[in-house]
Amino acid sequence: DTEVTQTPKHLVMGMTNKKSLKCEQHMGHRAMYWYKQKAKKPPELMFVYSYEKLSINESVPSRFSPECPNSSLLNLHLHALQPEDSALYLCASSQDGPATNTDTQYFGPGTRLTVL
Amino acid sequence: RKEVEQDPGPFNVPEGATVAFNCTYSNSASQSFFWYRQDCRKEPKLLMSVYSSGNEDGRFTAQLNRASQYISLLIRDSKLSDSATYLCAVKTGTGGFKTIFGAGTRLFVKA
């Protein structure tokens, strides 16, 4: 089973709201990722957690705050977002993570975020 | 130059046709290569990893050319259900490998 789940599927929020995106996997993977994807563009890496520690932050603005409570869960806390942050937010997981060059990532269905 | 480049297409082909996509990458130290398929408003789904010796999965064949720094995907006997965007992905970097995605190639298979 290569299932990564994400909630919610859709989210509409105002620029002053605080919300969180959630991601879960039960494949025993030790690396989890957040990507942002705009329409007709490829996924862009935001954060990587490896063994529950943040290992890569792609210079993401602080209004996005990741959290990895345990090896199965990954959250993305959102605060004071801008309309241009509207996108599909994808979570992925892989067996080992960025220290391994042959790792395969599996994606969740994404959360479609609209910021008003 | 982008790290990973693909022809955006779209490729419009009839059912039964053979279609090929190429993807070039700029970092010669890249080690792992993948093809993903993404349907409209859905997540990318792994289609196949790409190995140096090439690999085949049914109607799909992937090849890697390290000398010219490109990977290819060949789809034989195209089906209507093959219509999607095909993303190549390259795992690259030092001190922490990152997966870089190409912009994707759109394929439309028509009856």
Residue type, B102: G
Residue-wise pLDDT tens digits, B60-80: 999 999 999 999 999 999 999
% chain B with pLDDT above 70: 96
Q: pLDDT: is A100 or A75 the higher one? A: A75
pLDDT at residue A100 greater than cutoff 80: no
pLDDT band at B98 (very low <50, low <70, confident <90, very high): confident
- Whether A45 and B42 lie within 8 Å, measured CB to CB: no
For A93, counting Cβ atoms within 10 Å of its Cβ (0-12 exposed, 13-18 middle, 19+ buried), the class is: buried
Q: Which residues of B90-108 are buried (b: 16+ CB within 10 A; e: fewer)?
A: bbbbeeebebbbbbbbbbe
Mutate to test the interface with A, among B31, B43, B85 (most CBs of A within 10 A): B43
pLDDT at residue B6 greater than cutoff 90: yes
Q: What is the DSSP string of chain A?
A: ---EEEE-SEEEE-TT-EEEEEEEE-S--SEEEEEEE-TTS--EEEEEEETTEEEEE-S--TTEEEEEEETTEEEEEEES--GGG-EEEEEEEESS-TT-TTPPEEE---EEEEE-
Interface of A with B in 77-116 (CB under 8 A): 88, 90, 98-110, 112
Task: Say if strands A10-13 and B55-57 run parallel, antiparallel, or are unpaired.
Answer: unpaired
Of A56, A99, A101, nearest to B31 by CB-CB distance is: A101
- The answer for B39, left when phi > 0, alpha when psi is -120 to 50, beta otherwise, is beta
Inter-chain Cβ pairs, chain A and chain B, closer than 8 A: 57
Instruction: Note the pLDDT of residue B93.
Output: 66
What is the C-alpha to C-alpha distance for residues A58 and A11, in angstroms, rounded to an integer?
Answer: 23
Q: What is the mean pLDDT of chain B?
A: 91
Residues of B in contact with A112 (CB under 8 A): 41
pLDDT at residue A96 greater than cutoff 80: no
Q: Phi and psi (nearest 5°) for A29?
A: -70, 145
% chain B with pLDDT above 90: 73
pLDDT band at A98 (very low <50, low <70, confident <90, very high): low
Residue A19 contacts residue A40 (beta carbons within 8 Å):
no
Give B105→chain A minimum CA distance, Å: 10
Q: Once rounded to an integer, what is the mean pLDDT over residues A64-81?
A: 96
Residue type, A44: E
Instruction: Note the pLDDT of residue B111.
Output: 94
Residue type, B75: I
What is the C-alpha to C-alpha distance for residues A81 and A38, in angstroms, rounded to an integer?
Answer: 15
% chain A with pLDDT above 70: 93
Q: Once rounded to an integer, what is the mean pLDDT over residues A73-100?
A: 91
